[in-house]
């Protein structure tokens, strides 16, 4: 074979390997989480792991308050970000005049670019005192404060995915609505948004994935008390999430100790949760591609 | 006025209100940090070592650390990411394997940043024995950045018209020659934009470097890739939560430097994109 052919063959093989590398990285990540985290599930009896008390110094590794803490903060974030994000997407796509659109787009890009630690810092120094004074509570570092900051971190994802979903609704749907004598508002509310609902569901999944995995901002504004958030006022009290626990404790833990393995175990739980959320979201994307007739 | 139009008015007003509720806090965050941080940022702050347990002096080692980490991330992530994108855009057919790759990329993008930190600790710091070092942190950040680079670069490559490739092939060129001499140069602005967007995320991340690079207080510059280093995001976390009695000015100043770094990268990416989009003739 001509030498030139050989170099080309080598380059193309390399590109193939690089293409496949993403699969390798996902497997590698899962493998190393298992390697360091599995011992936790073997060393600690399940009734301890699923207990309600997280006091690692007394060998109490109850992950339930951490899991519920993550869920509470995430649920708060989504219930703020979903209506706000979808409404903004509808505004940008359907209603806003050109100049408002040109202004909104870069603003949302700026929001997506702000590092999480900067938002956390703002949350700590400006938002938390505000929450404390408004509620007249002992501290402003609460699940609600965390949810509020997280909502804004999930917004860019939710807005852009919801915009794509609205974009995919054929113009003929809108024309049909208007031709029936419906107002533009009725068309948006009764035709366009329902037609985009699978895409909006994708937005929710991806937004939840972002929110549940967020670390720095959450750690800085939620107060980090590992208590069961069971009563109604838990929303306005400190909580601790899974991510914050890993970030706060991994630095001080002895390598190879039970506590170390449990932190990796929590990493496995986080990996599995976000994996499932993304799988559902990806499923919706693939389905939409197959059903090309709608476009 | 017809009642239906009244409802429409109210509906549109609510949508506008939602957009306002999204925008105003963004302006508040950026505005507060710029106004309160501006008084702290001067030449000494940017170029001096920290003194008095970080309560005085500058943040030079944190700035240098973040720049080095970003450089390391770029060196590792660009070849792998662009190579992966070339495979997906130019070579891959729609098989189950290709779908698996896409699924893997979606999942890489969704893995929490702190889990990347755990992975980096397990693989690079402990298993490969790089120690807490710039090398371990850069590689961790590089894997985290891959999905952004791959998907934006693939999009840029796919935007190049098919005819450009068929012309080369019809002249007797090979597929790789078409990629190397036509498609890649044409897609370059889009790829660069994607790379910058990926890197700015890496520059601002804290969780992945917590256990892989970050030094709490290290008032000297790193000498080799195996050294630990301070970094801007971690430094901001440290001085706002771990050090009691920290002057607020220094905290806001650090936040401003980090924000300015990240947002200026954002602006550069946007400018490159819009400049080449206007100049492009296809």
| C-beta atoms of B86 and A26 within 8 A | no
Helices (H) and strands (E) in chain A, counts: 14, 2
User: Is A120 in CB contact (< 8 Å) with chain B?
Assistant: yes
DSSP reduced 3-state for A60: strand
A290 pLDDT higher than 60: no
pLDDT at B14: 93
Strand partners, A54: A61
Across A237-265, average pLDDT? 91
3-state helix, strand, coil in chain A (%, to 5): 80, 0, 20
Q: What is the pLDDT of residues A199-248, one digit of tens each?
A: 899 899 999 999 999 999 999 999 888 888 887 788 888 999 999 999 99
Q: Residue B104: which of A22, A111, A125 has the nearest Cβ?
A: A22
Rounded mean pLDDT of chain A?
89
**Cβ–Cβ under 8 Å, residues A162 and A86:** yes
Residue A189: its chain B contacts at CB < 8 A? 11
Mean pLDDT of A8-16: 92
Nearest chain A residue (CA) to B10: A185
Band of residue A284 on the pLDDT scale cut at 50, 70, 90 = low
Tally of CB atoms within 10 A around B21: 16
- The count of CB pairs under 8 A between chains A and B is 265
Which residues does residue B51 pair with via DSSP β-bridges, in sequence order? B56
* Contact of A90 with A188, CB cutoff 8 Å: yes
CA distances from B170 to B158, B165, B167 (A): 20, 9, 5
Listing DSSP states for B100-125 in one string gives HHHHHHHHHHHS-HHHHHHHHIIIII
The maximal CA–CA distance of chain B, rounded, in angstroms, is: 75
Nearest to B4 among A90, A114, A183 (CB): A183
In terms of Cα–Cα distance, which of B223, B118, B192, B68 is closest to A271?
Answer: B118
From chain B, pick out residues whose CB is under 8 angstroms from the CB of A20.
87, 97, 101
Q: Show Cβ contacts of residue A2 under 8 Å, excluding neighbours closer than 6 positions.
A: none
Coil, strand, or helix at residue B229? strand
Average pLDDT for chain B: 91
**Cα A73 to chain center, whole Å?**
11
Q: What ipTM was estimated for this complex? A: 0.92
Share of chain A above pLDDT 90, in %: 59
Write down the pLDDT at residue A293. 36
- pTM, 2 dp: 0.92
A288 pLDDT higher than 80: no
The H-assigned helical ranges of chain B are 3-38, 43-47, 60-86, 96-110, 113-120, 134-159, 162-170, 175-178, 184-204, 207-210, 232-241, 248-279
Neighbours of A8 (CB within 10 A): 17
Asked whether A215 and A200 are in contact (CB, 8 A), the reply is: no
DSSP 8-state code for residue B126: I
Residue B187 token pair: 């897609």
Q: Which member of A35, A274, A286 has the closest CB to residue B122?
A: A35
Cβ contact A21–B106 (<8 Å): no
CB count in 10 Å sphere of residue A186:
17
- Most A-contacting residue of B97, B107, B149 (CB-CB within 10 A), to test interface: B107
Q: Are the beta carbons of B23 and A206 separated by less than 8 Å?
A: no
pLDDT of B9 above 50: yes
Give chain B positions within 8 Å (CB) of A36. Answer: 118, 122
Residue B221 in this model has a pLDDT that exceeds 50: yes
Query: Residues B253, B45: contact at Cβ < 8 Å?
Result: yes
Residues of A in contact with B37 (CB under 8 A): none
Mutate to test the interface with B, among A25, A145, A270, A278 (most CBs of B within 10 A): A25
Q: Does B160 score more than 60 pLDDT?
A: yes
> What does the pLDDT look like over A47-105, one tens digit per residue?
888 888 888 888 889 889 999 999 999 999 999 999 999 999 999 998 888 898 888 98
Residue A154 contacts by C-beta under 8 Å, 6 or more apart in sequence? A77, A78, A81, A85, A207, A208, A210, A211
- Check residue B209 and give its pLDDT: 92
- Rounded to an integer, the average pLDDT of B127-147 is 94
Token reading at B98: 């290709």
Given a contact cutoff of 8 angstroms between Cβ atoms, the answer to whether B174 and B163 are in contact is: no
Q: Which of A88, A109, A271 sits opposite B115 (nearest CB)?
A: A271
Under a CB-based contact definition with an 8 Å cutoff, are residues B237 and A215 in contact? no
Q: Does A131 touch chain B (CB under 8 A)?
A: no
Interface contact A19-B99, CB threshold 8 A: no
State whether A18 and B87 contact (CB < 8 Å). yes
A108 in B contact zone (CB under 8 Å):
yes
pLDDT digits (tens, 9 = 90+) for B40-56: 888 888 988 888 778 78
Interface test with A, best of B20, B91, B118 (most A CBs within 10 A): B118
pLDDT 10s digits, A15-27: 999 999 999 999 9
**Contact in structure between A15 and B87 (CB atoms under 8 Å):** yes
A134 touches chain B (CB under 8 A): no
Which of these ranges, A64-78, B17-31, B220-234, has the smallest mean pLDDT?
B220-234
Please report the pLDDT score of residue A89 as a whole number. Answer: 94
Is A281 a residue whose pLDDT tops 90?
no
CA A103 to chain CA centroid, nearest Å: 25
List of chain B residues whose C-beta atoms are within 8 Å of the C-beta of residue A155 = 22
Handedness of CA B135, B137, B140, B143 (dihedral sign): negative
3-state SS assignment for residue B214: strand
Identify the residue with better confidence: B276 or A18.
A18
Residue B1: the pLDDT is: 59
User: Which one of A110, A115, A117 has the shortest CB-CB distance to B30?
Assistant: A110
Tokens (6 digits) for B169: 């092939």
């Amino acid at each position: 074979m001509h030498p030139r052919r050989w170099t080309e063959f080598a380059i193309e093989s390399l590109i193939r390997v690089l293409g496949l590398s993403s699969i390798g990285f996902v497997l590698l990540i899962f493998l190393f989480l298992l390697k360091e985290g599995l011992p936790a599930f073997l060393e600690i009896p399940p009734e301890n792991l699923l207990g309600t008390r997280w006091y690692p110094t007394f060998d109490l590794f109850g992950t339930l308050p951490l899991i519920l803490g993550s869920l509470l903060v995430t649920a708060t974030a989504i219930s703020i970000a979903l209506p706000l994000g979808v409404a903004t997407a509808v505004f940008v796509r359907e209603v806003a005049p050109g100049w408002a659109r040109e202004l909104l787009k870069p603003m949302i890009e700026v929001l997506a670019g702000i590092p999480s630690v900067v938002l956390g810092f703002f949350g700590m120094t400006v938002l938390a005192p505000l929450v404390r004074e408004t509620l007249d509570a002992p501290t402003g570092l609460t699940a609600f404060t965390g949810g509020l900051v997280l909502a804004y971190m999930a917004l860019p994802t939710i807005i852009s995915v919801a915009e794509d979903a609205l974009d995919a609704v054929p113009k003929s749907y809108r024309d049909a609505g208007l031709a029936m004598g419906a107002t533009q508002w009725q068309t948006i509310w009764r035709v366009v948004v329902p037609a985009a609902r699978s895409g909006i569901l994708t937005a929710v999944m991806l937004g939840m994935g972002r929110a549940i995995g967020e670390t720095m901002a959450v750690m800085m504004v939620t107060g980090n008390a590992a208590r069961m958030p069971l009563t109604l006022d838990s929303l306005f009290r400190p909580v601790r999430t899974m991510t914050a626990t890993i970030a706060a404790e991994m630095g001080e833990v002895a390598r190879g100790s039970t506590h170390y393995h449990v932190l990796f175990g929590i990493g496995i739980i986080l990996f599995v949760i976000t994996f499932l959320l993304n799988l559902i979201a990806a499923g919706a994307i693939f389905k939409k591609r197959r059903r090309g007739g709608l476009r | 006025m017809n009642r239906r139009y009244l409802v429409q008015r109210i509906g549109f007003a609510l949508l506008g209100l939602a957009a306002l509720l999204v925008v105003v806090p963004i302006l508040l965050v950026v505005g507060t940090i710029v106004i309160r941080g501006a008084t702290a940022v001067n030449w000494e702050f940017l170029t001096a070592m920290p003194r008095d347990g970080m309560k005085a002096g500058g943040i030079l080692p944190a700035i240098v650390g973040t720049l080095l980490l970003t450089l390391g991330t770029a060196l590792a992530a660009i070849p792998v990411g662009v190579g992966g994108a070339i495979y997906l855009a130019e070579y891959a057919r729609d098989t189950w394997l290709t779908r698996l790759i896409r699924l893997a990329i979606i999942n890489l993008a969704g893995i929490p940043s702190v889990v990347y930190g755990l992975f980096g600790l397990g693989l690079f710091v402990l298993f490969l024995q790089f120690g807490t070092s710039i090398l371990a942190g850069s590689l961790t950040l590089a894997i985290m950045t891959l999905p952004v680079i791959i998907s934006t670069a693939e999009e840029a490559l796919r935007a190049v018209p098919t005819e450009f490739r068929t012309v080369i092939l019809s002249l007797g060129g090979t597929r790789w020659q078409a990629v190397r001499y036509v498609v890649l140069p044409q897609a370059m602005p889009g790829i660069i934009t994607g790379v910058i967007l990926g890197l700015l995320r890496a520059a601002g991340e804290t969780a992945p470097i917590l256990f892989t690079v970050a030094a709490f207080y290290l008032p000297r510059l790193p000498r080799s890739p195996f050294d630990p280093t301070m970094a801007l995001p971690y430094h901001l976390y440290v001085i706002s939560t771990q050090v009691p009695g920290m002057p607020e000015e220094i905290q806001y100043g650090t936040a401003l430097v980090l924000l300015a770094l990240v947002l200026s990268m954002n602006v550069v990416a946007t400018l490159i994109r819009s400049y080449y989009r206007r100049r492009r003739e296809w």
